[in-house]
Amino acid sequence: MADSPASAPRFLAPAQVAELLDIDVDEVIALVMAGRLRGAQLGAPARWRVEEASVSDYLAEQTEDARRMALWRQADAASFPEVWGPQRP
pLDDT digit string, tens, across residues 56-71: 999 999 999 999 988 8
- C-alpha–C-alpha distance, residues 75 and 53, integer Å: 33
What is the per-residue pLDDT for 74? 77
- C-alpha–C-alpha distance, residues 48 and 14, integer Å: 7
Read off the pLDDT band of 78 (50, 70, 90). low
- C-alpha–C-alpha distance, residues 57 and 5, integer Å: 21
Listed in sequence order, the residues at least 6 apart from 24 whose beta carbon sits closer than 8 Å to its beta carbon are 18
Instruction: Give the chain's count of helices (H) and strands (E).
Output: 4, 3
Q: Where are the domains of the chain?
A: 11-78
